[in-house]
Each structure stands twice: as structure tokens, then as C-alpha cells.
């Protein structure tokens, strides 16, 4: 049995946007036997571009039911069915987010009609729903509305079923993870029971010792990709042979998952993890002043009495990092320009100012945006939030706090923090997260 679905949303991001309309058509492989559709109150504004595209306005959804109100019907219609959608990753992701907000898990086998159409009808210029309907003479009513698109996707799916001479749809369902690709000592039931959620996973041997640690936004899919792709590599043959069980730890969001992964790898030193294993930092890049009072970078061995701006494992890695910094911020060029401009005082002052600004930016690029702050993110449940603590520019740990506890006081927030070790890897993880997620909620103190 199939549940062919389509959702309309306030925008294109499952992380921030919400569903405004949902449609489900239950199909038995021959015909539609049941259907449901409803507008949904997303409890937030609809993007103007999306409003123009779908025709769904804020006024139309103002008095519509919440997703949690239609959840019983949606759950009943999709339970034990194979979910089908055009670009299923988007619809599936949006639905999973709505379930998560209700502290529920949504997990279904699913098929993508875009992917299937590429295999069964190869050679087309485009595989958008509109183009496919035009090429395959599928009538499409109410384009960009949930029921209209779901209805058109249903006809498309029927044509895919009819033209599937090589049983590609069956293969897609059965061969998500072939039994032959599984580690010989691991049951397929273990994989089937894994969550499609963010977290850290562990491969263990017969003695329950950790062989490998990884993290993913979708634990189950990442592990399947390991066995389908990564484990074909020669260096993983030994790992595959020795996997007897899989454990996991859920995380509220990707940042927390990365922090847990980094700490766990350094703690357990799994033999098949390399990149994040404990490192010895023997050199550093320090900020010094020259005879003119200008700041400069200087490479040197680690010293107890002085904290470097950047830690490096070897002298060569420090030299390469130093070169990249100078090149990125053009420090060497402006230093040379200063020496050439010493006879022209006005020009010399101007060049010096530019150099100092660039040097300041180069240093700031290596630091956190604030000395003391918390990063606030999603928790494990919708009723909580996660917090990551940075104090005196050092990582102190992370924790989860109930949404019912309304406080931004640092001393109270710190009570929920589980201690974590500050390392260069952690600093890199947090800085990269802040840079990539500009809208991250930060509490400064």
C-alpha cells in the first residue's frame, strides 16, 4: 500500500518553515482507495514569493487546524504505508519536523517519483512535476496546491508502475540495504530499528569495544551509506568483518552531535577513526609586535607562559597555516607596501592603517565573536532547548534546558551544562557552526 503525499509550506527550509497544506492519497497499487487534504495553520507568516506561487494566503490559514489537529488522520492514513512524493526528501523532511514538534517520530519507507522517473523515463530535459505531466500527458489541476500536486503525482506513479519493465520500483524498496552488503555479524533488524534523527553512532565489535564513531543528521541513512558505499573500500573490509552491534546517542541538533562525536573519539580512540583522534599540538602561531609597533604572526614551539592564537601539530602545518592567513588577508603585500612608502608620510600612514585593519580582521577570524556567550539551539524534544557554553573564550560544555525555565542568567544556565574539554577541534566546530548559521541564537554575558 502506498500513501502519496504533497505538502505546501511557508518557505523552503524544513528547519524554519512550516506546513500550510497537506494532502494524502492512499493507493493500493491499482487505484486510490482513500484521500485526505486540509489547509494547516503554520503559526507563522508565509513568504510572499511562496504565497504568490501557491495562492495560499495568511488569511486562508488563519482559522485552519494546526498540524497536531490533523495528525491522527494523517498518521492513520500513512502508517504501514510506503510514502510516495515528488522530491520526497523535502516533503518527508517537513513532515518529520512537524512530528518532532509534537515529540513524535515519523519514519516510513519512501519512494521519490523524481528519482524513479529518471530511471524509467530517461533522457528528458527536466523532471519537474509540471514538465513530466506535460510530456506524459497527465492532467494537472490546482498546480502548487497540495491535493492537485498529489493527484498528479498519483497518475505519474501509476505510469511509473505500468512502465517499470525492470522492476526498478521493487528493487528500490528491497535494495535500500542489500543483505549482501550488511556486515556478516549484524542483523538487518538492527538497521531497520535505527532512528532517522540527528545524533552520534557507534560500531562495536564482539567484545563490545568501539571500533568507529560517526555523527549524522540522519543516523539510519548514514549507516546504510557506510555499508553501501564506504565499506567497499579496502581499508574498511576489516571494520565490516568485526561489526557485531550498533549503538547511538541522539542529539538535539548538528552542533551538539559534532561536539559529542569529537569528545567521544578523543575519549575512546577508536581504531577506525583518524581525523578527530587525540592530537599533540607542539607548535603555535603567536601574535607579536615588531620594532614599529605593528602586530605580526610568529611561529614557535608551545610555551606554558604564552597562549598561541592557533595551535598546530607540526612546524610544517604551522607554516602552511601562517601562509594561508597572510595570503587571505594580504598581510605580506601591505607590509611590503609600507617599506616602499616610507618616504611619503601620508601614503605610509594610509598603508599602515589598512595593514592594521587587515591584521585585526585576521586575528578576529580566529576568535569567537564574544568572550562569554551561550549558543541556544534545538533540544531533543520540542519542550526543551540546547545550550553550549563559551566562557573566557573557552568551551565549557553543553546541556539541555526545559522551555518552562525562562532564564538568561548565566549562573542559572550553567547549572545545566555538562562539562566538556576545550580543544582546537571544538573551537573549529563551534566557529564554523556560527559562521554557517548566521541566525543562531546567542546569549552574551
Active site residues: 144
CB-count burial class (<10 Å; 0-12, 13-18, 19+) for 214: buried
Nearest of 41, 82, 56, 69 to residue 148 by alpha carbon? 56
Torsion over CA: 115, 99, 201, 252 (sign): positive
E strand residue ranges, 62-146: 82-85, 110-112
Give the DSSP letter string of 248-281.
Answer: EEE-SSHHHHHHHHHHHHHHH--TT--TTS----
CB 202 within 8 A of CB 212: yes
CB 39 within 8 A of CB 62: no
Helix, strand, or coil (residue 384) = strand
Residue 108 to residue 386: CA distance in whole angstroms: 27
Residue 340 to residue 224: CA distance in whole angstroms: 60
CA 74 to chain centre: 26
Residue keyed to cell 519507507: 109
Amino acid at each position: 500500500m502506498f500513501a502519496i503525499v504533497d505538502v505546501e509550506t511557508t518557505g523552503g527550509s524544513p528547519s524554519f518553515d512550516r506546513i500550510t497544506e497537506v494532502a494524502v492519497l492512499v493507493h493500493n497499487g491499482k487505484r486510490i482507495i482513500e484521500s485526505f487534504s486540509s489547509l494547516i495553520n503554520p503559526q507563522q507568516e508565509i513568504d510572499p514569493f511562496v504565497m504568490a506561487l501557491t495562492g495560499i494566503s495568511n488569511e486562508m490559514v488563519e482559522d485552519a487546524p494546526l498540524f497536531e489537529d490533523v495528525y491522527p488522520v494523517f498518521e492513520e492514513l500513512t502508517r504501514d504505508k510506503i510514502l510516495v512524493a515528488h522530491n520526497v526528501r523535502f516533503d518527508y523532511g517537513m513532515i518529520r519536523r512537524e512530528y518532532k514538534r509534537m515529540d513524535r517520530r515519523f519514519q516510513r519507507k519512501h519512494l521519490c517519483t523524481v528519482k524513479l522517473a529518471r530511471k524509467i523515463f530517461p533522457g528528458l530535459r527536466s523532471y519537474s512535476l509540471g514538465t513530466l505531466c506535460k510530456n506524459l500527458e497527465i492532467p494537472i489541476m490546482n498546480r502548487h496546491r497540495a491535493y492537485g500536486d498529489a493527484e498528479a503525482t498519483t497518475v505519474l506513479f501509476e505510469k511509473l508502475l505500468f512502465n517499470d519493465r525492470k522492476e526498478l520500483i521493487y528493487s528500490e524498496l528491497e535494495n535500500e540495504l542489500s543483505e549482501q552488503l550488511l556486515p556478516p555479524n549484524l542483523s538487518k533488524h538492527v538497521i531497520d530499528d535505527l532512528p532517522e534523527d540527528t545524533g552520534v553512532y557507534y560500531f562495536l565489535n564482539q567484545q563490545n569495544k568501539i571500533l568507529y564513531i560517526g555523527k549524522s543528521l540522519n543516523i539510519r541513512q548514514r549507516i546504510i551509506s557506510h555499508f553501501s558505499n564506504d565499506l567497499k573500500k579496502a581499508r574498511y573490509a576489516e571494520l565490516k568483518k568485526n561489526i557485531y552491534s550498533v549503538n547511538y546517542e541522539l542529539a538535539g541538533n548538528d552542533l551538539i552531535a559534532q561536539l559529542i562525536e569529537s569528545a567521544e573519539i578523543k575519549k575512546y580512540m577508536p581504531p577506525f577513526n583518524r581525523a578527530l583522534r587525540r592530537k599533540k599540538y607542539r607548535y603555535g602561531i603567536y601574535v607579536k609586535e615588531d620594532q614599529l609597533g605593528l602586530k605580526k604572526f610568529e611561529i614557535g614551539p608551545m610555551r606554558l607562559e604564552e597562549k598561541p592564537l592557533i595551535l598546530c601539530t607540526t612546524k610544517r602545518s604551522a607554516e602552511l597555516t601562517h601562509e594561508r592567513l597572510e595570503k587571505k588577508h594580504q598581510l605580506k603585500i601591505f607590509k611590503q607596501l609600507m617599506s616602499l612608502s616610507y618616504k611619503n608620510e601620508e601614503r605610509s600612514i594610509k598603508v599602515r592603517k589598512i595593514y592594521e585593519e587587515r591584521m585585526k580582521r585576521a586575528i578576529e577570524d580566529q576568535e569567537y565573536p564574544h568572550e562569554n556567550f551561550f549558543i541556544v539551539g534545538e533540544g531533543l524534544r520540542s519542550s526543551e532547548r540546547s545550550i553550549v557554553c563559551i566562557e573566557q573564550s573557552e568551551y565549557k560544555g553543553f546541556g539541555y534546558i526545559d522551555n518552562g525555565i525562562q532564564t538568561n542568567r548565566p549562573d542559572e544556565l550553567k547549572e545545566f551544562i555538562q562539562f566538556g574539554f576545550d580543544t582546537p577541534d571544538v573551537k573549529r566546530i563551534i566557529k564554523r557552526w556560527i559562521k554557517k548559521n548566521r541566525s543562531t541564537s546567542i546569549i552574551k554575558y
